Amino acid sequence: MKRSIALVWILLLVTAFAVAQDATIVFVDGFVDIQTEAGAVFPADFGDELSAGDRVITDRDGEAELELGTGGDVVVAPDTVFIVGATTTPSGQRTGRLSAAIGSFSFRFNAAIGNEPRVGSTTSVAGVRGTEVRVYTGSDGTTRFEVIEGLVEITDGDTVVSLAADEAVEVAPGSGAGNVFAFLEQPINYAAWNAALVEDFLADPIDSLDGVSIEMAELLAEIERRAPGIEERLAQSDALGEELVKIGEENGTEARQEFLRETVAPFRNELRDDFVDFRFVVLSALSLRQFVVARMAGEMDAAYFLNPGDPVYRSFLDDLELLDDRFEEVVVPWLVPSDL
Amino acid sequence: MRLRLLGILAAVLLVAACATIPPSADDDKVLELVDLWNATSAAEFSSRVGNPFLFGTQVLSSSADIEAVLARAKANGLLLTPEIVGSSDSVSVDGVDRFGVGVFAEQLPPDARHVLVPSTAGTVSLIVGGEAEGLPMLLGIQRRN
């Protein structure tokens, strides 16, 4: 309960202190919703501004176009959950991160080379250089990258796969990138591609779930690595808040304002950036559970609804329970109900 | 004269009461929904399901996922018998100890109702609530053996 209250507080802080808008909605067709980092959901409209952590959700007839603050356009296709993210590179530079939790989007960079966002899904990410690229995320977690212009580099563990124009690759959860292949410039039929992935999954559900479990384990490890630091900074922020009140009571409004301006605000701005990075990982884990694992398990429940004693199904459920136990232990403490 | 007035008053009260009964509380309407499950495709039926939707122990929150999973269930022979063998206004959901299912259960509409019907998979529990085109919406299906 204490964690939930702290989470709600920091989510409000993120919203209140949001300074840079990362993207703006410039076109909407059909049903498109925005789910903010703090969990509010509302229909998307022209001119709506998005910050890191916000999601754009299109229905089967919905489509949206976004303009990125750093340059570049994104077209979010129907039946897609698109996440606007941000991340800090090892060199300390803040950069955008665009992901499809499910569905597809295309991205075209149209600004000076050097600050392109990273693109991909919750399980696979690519660095881009002066690129036009399409990204598809399937219901089994497979990510497909198609490069129309420029260069894309997909990092998967120690392996780097480079794609030039007219080349594509599919990255399956847990087993990495397949062979690079040439593709026709027209977008694929997402529904047909995804249906084939689901059939492949049902043919070998245990291995498929194992692959997704590997990706989930990586996200959970990242959360576990960062969580203590976030906890500590949240506690520091609380202490600063108490000190601010004390200074106001003892030394007056001017001293309070100075402490707020010089100490509290810079600390909270830094905390906000760290927390947005952290939340991106948390929401990636949630999206993987919500849109990939749930679909896989739902398909299994449906396929075996009349035959729940089947050993393949029972074995799948056992593996799913292990995945869910870890998810509940590591991710759920950082979620609020409005995240769903 | 007084009797006639009381009769009119009773009729008005009856009409008012009927108007406030949610479709989920009307067994005939629930059975009509069950008939539609059996008689229509998943694509047609999808306008009558809630989002999020609970299938088994999974909360599905994309309309494409819901339609695909319902299509799979129907293709694998899940037919419902139009007969209510039990019901409850307090909806109990299996798996509420998990975050997704717990949030789903907390956010059910106030008129949500739990209905047990026989099926080709044994007795199943339907969660119905809300309203679409005069009938309750199907919010979830769980096996109940």
Question: Are the Cβ atoms of A294 and B56 closer than 8 angstroms?
Answer: no
Q: With contact defined as beta carbons under 8 Å apart, do A58 and A76 qualify?
A: yes
Q: Please indicate, yes or no, whether residues A82 and A132 belong to a single structural domain of this protein.
A: yes
A171 min Cα distance to partner chain B (Å): 21
| Chain A, chain B: beta-carbon pairs less than 8 Å apart | 91
Q: Please indicate, yes or no, whether residues A313 and A268 belong to a single structural domain of this protein.
A: yes
Chain A partners of B125 at a C-beta cutoff of 8 Å? none
Which residues is A134 bridged to in the sheet?
A106, A146
Coil, strand or helix: which one is B98?
coil
Q: Please indicate, yes or no, whether residues A188 and A278 belong to a single structural domain of this protein.
A: no
Question: Are the Cβ atoms of B57 and A60 closer than 8 angstroms?
Answer: no
Percentage, residues of chain A above pLDDT 90 = 50
Ordered per-residue pLDDT tens for chain A, 340 residues:
445 555 655 665 555 544 456 889 999 999 999 998 878 889 999 999 998 888 999 998 899 999 988 888 999 999 999 998 877 666 667 778 899 999 999 998 876 666 778 888 888 888 887 788 999 999 999 999 999 988 888 887 778 888 988 999 999 998 888 889 998 767 789 999 999 999 999 999 999 999 999 999 999 999 999 999 988 888 888 888 889 899 989 988 898 899 888 888 888 888 887 888 888 889 899 999 999 999 999 999 999 999 999 999 999 999 999 999 999 999 999 998 888 8
Show which of A155, A171, A196 is a domain's final residue: A196
List, in order of start, the domains of chain B with CATH numbers. Answer: 22-143 (3.10.450)
Residue A39 gets the label, from left (phi > 0), alpha (psi -120 to 50) or beta, of left
CATH of the domain at A110: 2.60.120.1440
Chain A partners of B70 at a C-beta cutoff of 8 Å? 302
Q: Please indicate, yes or no, whether residues A299 and A211 belong to a single structural domain of this protein.
A: yes
Residue A323 in any domain: the answer is yes
Q: Please indicate, yes or no, whether residues A27 and A153 belong to a single structural domain of this protein.
A: yes
- Rg (Cα) of chain B, in Å, rounded? 17
Number of structural domains (chain A) is: 2
Complex-level ipTM: 0.85
| Per-residue burial over B21-32, b = 16 or more CB atoms within 10 Å of its CB, e = otherwise | ebbbbbeebbbe
Q: Please indicate, yes or no, whether residues A185 and A255 belong to a single structural domain of this protein.
A: no
Residue A4 in any domain: the answer is no
Domain of A305, in residue numbers: 206-339
Phi, psi dihedrals of residue A8, rounded to the nearest 5°: -60, -40
B59: nearest CB among A294, A304, A328: A294
How many whole angstroms separate alpha carbon B49 and alpha carbon B61?
Answer: 11
- DSSP assignment of A193-239 equals HHHHHHHHHHHSHHHHHHHHHHHHHHHHHHHHHHHHHHHHHHHHHHH
Q: Please indicate, yes or no, whether residues A250 and A306 belong to a single structural domain of this protein.
A: yes
Start-to-end C-alpha separation, chain B: 57
Question: Are the Cβ atoms of A335 and B99 closer than 8 angstroms?
Answer: yes
3-state secondary structure A26-81: EEEECCEEEECCCCCEEECCCCCEECCCCEEEECCCCEEEEEECCCCEEEECCCCE
Residue A5 in any domain: the answer is no
| Tens digits of residue pLDDT in A83-94 | 988 776 666 677
Coil, strand or helix: which one is A299?
helix
Question: Are the Cβ atoms of A291 and B65 closer than 8 angstroms?
Answer: yes
How many whole angstroms separate alpha carbon A148 and alpha carbon A133?
Answer: 6
Q: Would you state the structure tokens that stand for residue A166, as one six-digit string?
A: 């007219």
Show which of A164, A196, A228 is a domain's final residue: A196
| Tens digits of residue pLDDT in B128-142 | 999 999 999 999 999
B25 min Cα distance to partner chain A (Å): 27
Question: Are the Cβ atoms of B61 and A79 closer than 8 angstroms?
Answer: no
Which residues is B98 bridged to in the sheet?
none
Chain A partners of B104 at a C-beta cutoff of 8 Å? 340
Q: Please indicate, yes or no, whether residues A97 and A244 belong to a single structural domain of this protein.
A: no
Residue A71 in any domain: the answer is yes
Question: Are the Cβ atoms of A297 and B65 closer than 8 angstroms?
Answer: no
Residue A223 in any domain: the answer is yes
The stretches of chain B forming alpha helices (DSSP H) are 2-20, 27-39, 42-45, 63-75, 99-106
Q: Please indicate, yes or no, whether residues A60 and A191 belong to a single structural domain of this protein.
A: yes
Show which of A196, A215, A232 is a domain's final residue: A196
